[in-house]
Chain A
Amino acid sequence: MENKIDVRDFNFYYSSFHALKGLTIPIRERQITALIGPSGCGKSTFLRSLNRMNDTIAGTSATGEVLLDGKNIYAPDVDVTDLRNRVGMVFQRPNPFPQSIYDNVAFGPRVTGRASGRALDVIVEESLEGAGLWGEIKHRLRDSALSLNPGQQQRLCIARAIAVKPEVILMDEPCSALDPVATLKVEELMRVLAKEYTIVIVTHNMQQAARVSDFTGFFWLGELVEFGPTTQLFSTPQQELTESYITGRRG
């Protein structure tokens, strides 16, 4: 099993605030890695470091390495738009553009100039298929994306992300705004997507981490307390802090 991403001694700062402290994490290829921990522990910051979305926040800085296929994404010669083509992202709240379903999915391929016309139609169909949405909405591609229910909107956002054909998909609490049925659908989708993509998910929901992920990392105050196969981390945690958090005594 290969490491798609290798994080080595990674530190991240918001101005003088040391948000991520010396993180070393392996992200395995075509596996789901879950990051758990209390609010403010840095897991979302870490997630956004993996496609350099934190770059858009003024005053941030990073040290250490994040190797994507062995190449440091913080090296000066890296083009962040290329990076974000390879490492896609799904956000906490479903956030489709106020445009048609088709245009939402087509946005990425269009701006990157990868496809147009018939080829674009094919990508849109494949992506919606890949997000398990095609059957439900194939007759209303021209409808506004905002006419979908929240669960469908979130799967549309997943379709929009995979339309760029990324290698890694980052998910920042993708189900926290969804009801249990919609959550289940997204979780099933993640298992399917993991056959093709490397997935990193941040979640507040420990049952979700236990259900969907192959590996789990536990964050506490900007540090990685424990990392390991999900079944092992939840059944026999090595650290006392991990055990007290996952059993609900702490956090």
Chain B
Amino acid sequence: MSRQQINRLATALITGVAILVVVPIVLVILFVIYNGIGTISWEFISAPPTNGMREGGIWPALLGTIFLTFGTAIISFPLAIGAAIYLSEYAADNRMTRMVRLAIVNLAGIPSIVYGLFGLGAFVLFMQFGTSILAGSLTLGILTLPVVISTAEEAIASVPQQFRTVSLSLGATRWQTIRHQVLPHALPGILTGIILGLGRAAGETAPILFTVAAFYLPDLPHSIFDQTMALPYHLYVISTQVPGMPLSIQYGTALVLLLIVLSLTLSATFVRTSMRRRREW
């Protein structure tokens, strides 16, 4: 084969592989939409499950997932921003910094079921929050930290150095410089990271298994110390634990969960691109 032929072959192969990556995700989405779309109705969204969950809707589970996602955001946002600011603006290259970085990398590699067990030990039992929205949010919050911290750190580091220099030269303190020149410009990037982290948290089952999720509850939660149903766990339950469960409800539930996670991911992408377009430096 000539060089040109090899070149064409390589191009074709690489393009093929790239397309191959897209195929499974598209197939999964189409499959779930195809099987679940018929079930989706206002009633399915807004009604509680009935008849041993074989009929009715998913409202308590959906609401629980919304609560948990907000809870996760509240927990992870300040922690992650604080850590990211420390790492990018304050940290000297010393043992403390290396420890923090090592912790973040390792946090990202821990299997989610281990987060669940940790949440059970630390929040449910030791801190005596019980199986509750609070314990679940804390567990999910920690789970999202690595991705949120690293995107936030990247966003902060991408703010041009000269903004800091000029700000300091005008007599601003270090904190004022961070507060007024660094964070505002880094905010879209930080938001992207948070939304991505929430997308991950909303779809996780294992971390909420022991910390918050209920098999079935007749009532909606009243406080953060109550248990709640949640979509991923609900899907697991109706797929494996309930005999005679109609497939349509399983796929309908899966579709709603998929839509939540996808919309979070897509809005993160949207924030990022609109930020890039607006950015003037």
A residues near B, CB below 8 A?
A: 51, 53, 56, 58, 81-82, 84-85, 88-89, 91, 93, 95, 97-98, 107-108, 110-112, 144, 146, 157, 160-161, 164
15 contacts between A and B (CB under 8 A): A51-B169, A56-B168, A81-B173, A82-B171, A97-B163, A107-B167, A108-B171, A108-B172, A111-B170, A111-B171, A111-B173, A112-B171, A160-B170, A164-B170, A164-B171
Contact A98 B280, beta carbon cutoff 8 Å: yes
Could you say which residues of chain B place their CB within 8 Å of the CB of A97?
Answer: 163, 166, 181
Could you say which residues of chain B place their CB within 8 Å of the CB of A107?
Answer: 167, 170, 172, 180
Q: Does B176 contact A (CB under 8 A)?
A: yes
Could you say which residues of chain A place their CB within 8 Å of the CB of B279?
Answer: 98
Contact B166 A98, beta carbon cutoff 8 Å: no
Question: How far apart are the CA atoms of A9 and B85 in the complex, in Å?
Answer: 38
Question: How far apart are the CA atoms of A81 and B169 in the complex, in Å?
Answer: 8
Q: Does more than half of chain B's interface fall in helix, strand or loop, or is it mixed?
A: helix
> Shortest CB–CB separation between residue B234 and chain A, in angstroms?
46
Question: How far apart are the CA atoms of A97 and B167 in the complex, in Å?
Answer: 9
Residue in B closest to A82 when the chains form the complex, CB atoms: B171
Instruction: Bin the interface of chain B by size.
Output: 20 to 34
Question: How far apart are the CA atoms of A108 and B177 in the complex, in Å?
Answer: 11
15 further A-B pairs in the complex, CB-CB below 8 A; given A160-B166, A161-B170: A51-B169, A56-B168, A82-B171, A85-B171, A88-B169, A91-B162, A91-B166, A93-B162, A95-B162, A95-B163, A97-B166, A98-B279, A98-B281, A107-B167, A111-B172
CB-CB under 8 A for A111 and B180, given A84-B170, A98-B281, A164-B170: yes
Q: Does B165 contact A (CB under 8 A)?
A: yes
Residue in B closest to A99 when the chains form the complex, CB atoms: B184
Question: How far apart are the CA atoms of A110 and B167 in the complex, in Å?
Answer: 11
Could you say which residues of chain B place their CB within 8 Å of the CB of A84?
Answer: 168-171
B residues near A, CB below 8 A?
A: 92, 162-173, 176, 180-181, 185, 279-281
Contact B171 A56, beta carbon cutoff 8 Å: no
> Shortest CB–CB separation between residue A101 and chain B, in angstroms?
13
Question: How far apart are the CA atoms of A82 and B170 in the complex, in Å?
Answer: 10
Question: How far apart are the CA atoms of A111 and B281 in the complex, in Å?
Answer: 23
> Shortest CB–CB separation between residue A99 and chain B, in angstroms?
9
Contact A88 B170, beta carbon cutoff 8 Å: yes
> Shortest CB–CB separation between residue B90 and chain A, in angstroms?
12
Could you say which residues of chain A place their CB within 8 Å of the CB of B166?
Answer: 91, 95, 97, 157, 160
Question: How far apart are the CA atoms of A36 and B88 in the complex, in Å?
Answer: 36
Question: How far apart are the CA atoms of A93 and B170 in the complex, in Å?
Answer: 16
Question: How far apart are the CA atoms of A51 and B168 in the complex, in Å?
Answer: 10
* 4 pairs of A and B residues whose beta carbons are closest in the complex: A85-B171, A108-B170, A89-B169, A111-B172
Contact B181 A56, beta carbon cutoff 8 Å: no
> Shortest CB–CB separation between residue A136 and chain B, in angstroms?
20
Could you say which residues of chain B place their CB within 8 Å of the CB of A53?
Answer: 165, 168-169
Could you say which residues of chain B place their CB within 8 Å of the CB of A93?
Answer: 162
Question: How far apart are the CA atoms of A108 and B169 in the complex, in Å?
Answer: 9
> Shortest CB–CB separation between residue B207 and chain A, in angstroms?
40
Residue in B closest to A85 when the chains form the complex, CB atoms: B171
> Shortest CB–CB separation between residue B165 and chain A, in angstroms?
7
Question: How far apart are the CA atoms of A97 and B162 in the complex, in Å?
Answer: 9
Contact A144 B171, beta carbon cutoff 8 Å: no
Residue in B closest to A104 when the chains form the complex, CB atoms: B166
Residue in A closest to B171 when the chains form the complex, CB atoms: A85
Question: How far apart are the CA atoms of A84 and B169 in the complex, in Å?
Answer: 6
Residue in A closest to B176 when the chains form the complex, CB atoms: A111
User: Counting chain B CB atoms within 10 Å of each CB, which of A58, A108, A157, A160 scores highest?
Assistant: A108
Could you say which residues of chain A place their CB within 8 Å of the CB of B171?
Answer: 81-82, 84-85, 108, 111-112, 164
Question: How far apart are the CA atoms of A108 and B280 in the complex, in Å?
Answer: 22
Question: How far apart are the CA atoms of A219 and B215 in the complex, in Å?
Answer: 78
Could you say which residues of chain B place their CB within 8 Å of the CB of A146?
Answer: 280-281
Question: How far apart are the CA atoms of A82 and B162 in the complex, in Å?
Answer: 20
Question: How far apart are the CA atoms of A98 and B163 in the complex, in Å?
Answer: 9
Residue in B closest to A107 when the chains form the complex, CB atoms: B170
Contact A81 B172, beta carbon cutoff 8 Å: yes
Question: How far apart are the CA atoms of A81 and B185 in the complex, in Å?
Answer: 22
User: Counting chain A CB atoms within 10 Å of each CB, which of B92, B168, B170, B173 scores highest?
Assistant: B170
Contact A98 B185, beta carbon cutoff 8 Å: yes
User: Counting chain A CB atoms within 10 Å of each CB, which of B164, B165, B166 scores highest?
Assistant: B166
